[in-house]
Amino acid sequence: MSDLSNAAKVGLMTIALTLALVFGYRYVSRATGTSEGYSVWANLPDVTGVSPRSRVMISGVQVGVVDRIGLVDGQARVDIRMKPEFPLFQGATVGKRATSFIGEYFIVLTPGTEGTPRIAEGGQITHLMEDVNFDTLQTQMRDILLDVKDVTRALRATVGSDQGQKKLESILANLADLTESLNGTVKENRQTVRETLDSARAITAATAPELKEILANVKQVTAEIRDLTTKGDGAQPTGKLRQTIDRVDRASSSLESLLGHADSVAARIDEGKGTVGRLTKDETLINEVEQVVEGVGDFVQGVKRTQTIVGLRGDYNFLANTVKSYVSLRLQPSEDKYYLVELVNDPRGKVGIEQIDVDTTNPNDPPHYREIRTTTTNAFRFTFQFAKRLGPVTGRFGVRESTGGIGVDLHLLDDRLELSQDLFGFGEQVTPRWRLALSYEFVRSLWLLGGVDNVLSNERRDYFFGMTLRFNDADLKSVLPFMPGLGSGVR
């Protein structure tokens, strides 16, 4: 029984030690915690010192182990098994670091930027860290020692030779002479220096208030200069001088761009490209443009010479007991000719004559007869005539009160007395309409007139008396500014 008891104890002890070894291995194993993780891989130029099951670290914390190392296309491929709680993102980097100068190597990572896509299972880390190892440091130290060796060789060649030693002795002798001279100068001028310092001390003591005021003013000036030259950063406004400089900079940039465009335009013009370029190169086109410009110039000069005369006229017809009004516009490009445009409001209306030929079977009427109908409509009449003057006589022709007509004016007494007659209204009545009028300017721009209308018609003859106001360009310029709604538009 005791033997069974001892055997049982040995068995239990063996089981306990086995369990302890298993749990201890899992506790200290570098691969612990990666069984549910994910795999990534990377290509490294050199994996010397890295072996499978080597640690993978981020900021000194183990996040995985090296699962496998292989050679693919001449580069070392390292497969890494990551713990699930440490994700890697696009932009993650991989490199190799040594634990010490003679120790093992491990893989070091940076996780990348959060918010970017994660590296999935089996994904590649494409970014590499700069590899700083003992070999690199050894190479750098060797380069430094070679530079130091070159410097010492140069010093030995310079100072170690007989000539170099003589130069060094000469330099030391000169330095000794210089220090001795300086010592003698200081001794000789010691009293002067002391008096100078005492004077400076007295001056500063006496002018201390003024110096304080000067320093305060300087401080204020520097503060103002700083305010002027401050470059704004959003929270602090930009200084005035800085604003001016910025505007000048923008203006210079705009000017530079403008000069560039001007150079381009000048080059195109010089090559004869574009409208302006062809104008400078094509003689035929230049001649045509000159002719057009001359024509436009003649037209503009003619327009500038054209005088505008506005007339307002009212007539009282005695027999019809009505008032007839006229608004006229005379465009006079020269002294001997003008164009007359007139709008007439005649209370007797616009007369129209219609001739109708009638064929009838009515026994009470002739089989063929003609009807003449005269219609009067309440409509404005208009006049458009061209006038040409020869001496004291002016002849007119064109449209007169909506019918064809001609007219003749006789000017007397320095053009202050006018005798006018018009013949128009052909077709409105049996005889044409003949009008005679006598006008006299008894005050500048104001005319009195009277006359006979429809001289040839006994039924429609009438006598009239009226007044006319005539304004030329000078009168309009002086009158229009005082008219409501027009003064702001006349300059």
For 60-105, what is each residue's pLDDT tens digit?
A: 888 999 989 988 888 889 999 999 899 999 889 998 887 765 567 8
Residues 107, 16 within the same domain: no
Per-residue pLDDT for 169 more than 50?
yes
Are the CB atoms for 66 and 96 separated by under 8 Å? no
Residues 310, 420 within the same domain: yes
Q: Has residue 298 been placed in a domain?
A: no
Residues 21, 80 within the same domain: no
Q: In this structure, what CATH number is given to the domain that contains residue 376?
A: 2.40.128
Q: Has residue 113 been placed in a domain?
A: yes
Residues 336, 392 within the same domain: yes
Residues 325, 394 within the same domain: yes
Report the alpha-carbon angle 408-412-416, nearest 5.
100
Per-residue pLDDT for 436 more than 70?
yes
How many domains is the chain partitioned into structurally? 3
For 235-294, what is each residue's pLDDT tens digit?
A: 555 666 777 777 887 888 888 888 887 877 777 777 767 666 666 666 776 677 677 767
| Final residue belonging to a domain, choices 128, 155, 183 | 128
Residues 371, 449 within the same domain: yes
Q: Has residue 411 been placed in a domain?
A: yes
> Percentage of the chain surpassing pLDDT 90?
23
Report the alpha-carbon angle 220-224-230, nearest 5.
140
Per-residue pLDDT for 135 more than 90?
no
Q: Has residue 450 been placed in a domain?
A: yes
Domain range spanning residue 1? 1-27
Q: Has residue 92 been placed in a domain?
A: yes
If you average pLDDT over residues 314-339, what whole number do you get? 91
Which of these, 279, 274, 252, lies nearest to 264 by C-alpha position? 274
Are the CB atoms for 438 and 418 separated by under 8 Å? yes
The reported pTM is 0.37
Per-residue pLDDT for 315 more than 90?
yes
Strand 38-44 versus strand 123-124 pairing type: parallel
Residue found by looking up tokens 């054209």 in the block? 306
Residue type, 227: D
Q: Has residue 325 been placed in a domain?
A: yes
If you average pLDDT over residues 461-478, what whole number do you get? 84
Q: Has residue 385 been placed in a domain?
A: yes
Per-residue pLDDT at 26: 54
* Residue 406 confidence class, pLDDT cut points 50, 70, 90: very high
Residues 8, 99 within the same domain: no
Residues 310, 322 within the same domain: yes
Q: What's the CA gap between 483 and 310, in Å, rounded?
A: 15
Q: What's the CA gap between 6 and 368, in Å, rounded?
A: 165
Residues 320, 347 within the same domain: yes
Per-residue pLDDT at 479: 58
Tell me the HSE value of 390 on the side-chain side, using a 13 A CA sphere: 3
Task: Give the range with max mean pLDDT: 41-55, 107-121, 199-213.
Answer: 107-121
Q: Has residue 264 been placed in a domain?
A: no
Residues 420, 316 within the same domain: yes
Residues 124, 44 within the same domain: yes
The values of phi and psi at residue 62, to 5°, are -75, 125
| Final residue belonging to a domain, choices 128, 155, 172 | 128
User: What is the torsional sign of CA 180, 181, 183, 187?
Assistant: positive
Cβ count near 117 (within 10 Å): 10
Residues 20, 50 within the same domain: no
* All residues at 6 or more sequence positions from 327 whose CB lies less than 8 Å from its CB, including other chains: 310, 311, 312, 313, 342, 343
If you average pLDDT over residues 204-209, what whole number do you get? 78
| Final residue belonging to a domain, choices 101, 128, 155 | 128
